[in-house]
Copies of this chain bind each other. A is one copy, B any other.
Amino acid sequence: MAKKDKAFVQDITPMDQDFSRWYTDVVTRAELMDYSDVRGCMVIRPYGYAIWERIQQELDRRFKETGHKNAYFPLFIPESLLKKEAEHVEGFAPEVAWVTHGGSEELAERLVVRPTSETIICSMYARWIQSYRDLPLKLNQWCNVVRWEKTTRPFLRTSEFLWQEGHTVHVDYEDAQKETLTMLEVYRSFVTDYMAIPVLCGQKTEKEKFAGAQDTYTIEAIMHDGQALQMGTSHNLGQHFAKAYEIKYLDKDGAQKYAWQTSWGVSTRLIGGLIMVHGDDRGLRLPPNIAPTQVIIVPVAAHKPGVSEKANELLDILKAAGIRADIDERDQSPGWKFNEWEMRGVPLRIEIGPRDIENGQAMLVRRDTAEKQPAALEGIVASVNDLLAQIQQNMLDQALALRQAKIRKAATEAEICEAVDAHKGFAISPWCGDRACEEHMKAEYNITTRCMPFEGQEEAEGAVCPICGKPAKKMIYWARAY
């Protein structure tokens, strides 16, 4: 190991030594976030926020393509409004922040800072929707939400976080169900294609579903340490909220009917997943599609005549071709810069010095494999685009391989624990469908069900539940979760 590598590794705790410290080291050293003076709230620094902007841009485009519009609803929800849907308030009341005073006056009614916006949005939908002609109504909101968490971790669980929440209204169950699964697919394809994170898609159990939903669907990813991260959820709300908030429409047949609803969301938590799936002991690794900076140009021997000019010329060429490129001309050594940009996970580095320029080439260095290869300056845009596509694919392949290695079939309680503990991953097993078995696993081992996958359910036929021995109804994933 070269000297600079050793020095570098001292900055970031190795993953295998302490995954949790590795994670904290990466998010702080790469300047993705910082801790604030407010309990459980973090600051998203420019580099972290740039990743969020990339996520927003691409998801927003997909939401609009699927017929959604953005709107904005109030941050505050009156206590009485929150309490209308019984399951919902039970799920959220313990973890909300309460506003009790405005200026120097005590409020007549306390307000909660939204933990999610079903209640305030439903109260408006009840006014706006009169007829079947008003449906479907498909809105989305980008905003901040607050959940007063006891233990917090950057990006994964913070008292305040940024997210989007879609809220739609439909004439019947079928249309609501179609929307629920369409949005799950929007999430799955985005996370797979853009973030290079393969996910397990399926349904949550009754115990794990969203407070107030009829059914919750989820995309779940496996982190490097084998723990699960719920990356996004899509809920078929049935008529639960429509009945609580009186969202009715006049149907074609002249009858007043309760509407059917969905809601779905992803948050800045996605950034935590990105780090924990792709990161390594040198820091972040960002897939090119989501990277704020795809290519960093580092001039070598920049004081020599013509180097800075040529490097900037190259920058202009890449930018003009729509590549998100940048140049590092700070007064630091090339080695320091190499480390710095590797730590920040920039997918491709271009080194260009006097000898390269003489030979009409530049050196391309991949972050994913550390491979170096020269490329002719003539036609370099094609070489760069080609490499970026290869990196994107390779990172997805690596993540797929990681996932495959971490999932084990389990037929007994001991095998579930072994898959989770010894093999640091997920177990898939048959399951009787009883909440009692989930509660047992949670209480004994802190292992939870992640989802009943859409695929492979036929394997449950004739099998028994490894916990209680009763006939199985479903195949289900088990893991420890963030």
Contact = CB atoms under 8 A, between A and B. Distances in A.
Given A69-B46, A98-B101, A103-B95, A144 B143 contact: yes
Interface stretch (A3-11, A120-128, A187-195, A382-390): A120-128
Contacts of A146: 75
Contact of A71 (B37, B45, B99): B45
Interface residues of A, number: 52
B75 A124 contact: no
A76 B160 contact: yes
A72 B99 contact: no
A43 B125 CA distance: 11
A394 to B, nearest CB: 29
A100 interface: yes
A400 to B, nearest CB: 32
A36 B160 contact: no
Given A101-B97, A104-B94, A120-B38, A46 B74 contact: no
Interface string A338-352: 000000000000000
A63 interface: no
Query: What's the number of copies of this chain in the assembled complex?
Result: 2
A44 interface: yes
Contacts of A120: 36-38
Given A99-B99, A102-B148, A120-B36, A74 B113 contact: no
A212 B362 CA distance: 51
A41 B75 contact: yes
Contacts of A73: 36, 43
A146 B73 CA distance: 13
B124 A34 contact: yes
Given A94-B103, A103-B94, A148-B103, A38 B72 contact: no
A173 interface: no
Contacts of A36: 73-74, 120, 123-124
A70 B162 CA distance: 14
Given A38-B78, A77-B38, A78-B38, A71 B46 contact: yes
Contact of A46 (B50, B76, B78, B139): B139
A123 B37 contact: yes
B72 A43 contact: yes
A99 B70 contact: no
A96 interface: yes
A426 to B, nearest CB: 31
Contacts of A144: 75, 143-144
Contacts of A71: 43-46, 49
A411 interface: no
A51 to B, nearest CB: 11
A42 interface: yes
A327 B72 CA distance: 25
Contacts of A81: 37
A54 to B, nearest CB: 12
A55 interface: no
Nearest to A94: B103
Given A100-B100, A127-B34, A146-B75, A70 B43 contact: no
A111 interface: yes
A77 B36 CA distance: 10
> Which 3 pairs between the two chains have the least Cβ-Cβ distance?
A102-B148, A41-B74, A46-B69
20 contacts: A34-B127, A36-B123, A36-B124, A37-B81, A38-B111, A41-B76, A42-B74, A43-B124, A44-B71, A45-B71, A46-B139, A50-B69, A50-B70, A72-B162, A75-B113, A96-B103, A98-B100, A99-B99, A102-B159, A113-B113
Given A75-B160, A100-B100, 5 more contacts: A37-B81, A50-B69, A72-B162, A95-B103, A102-B159
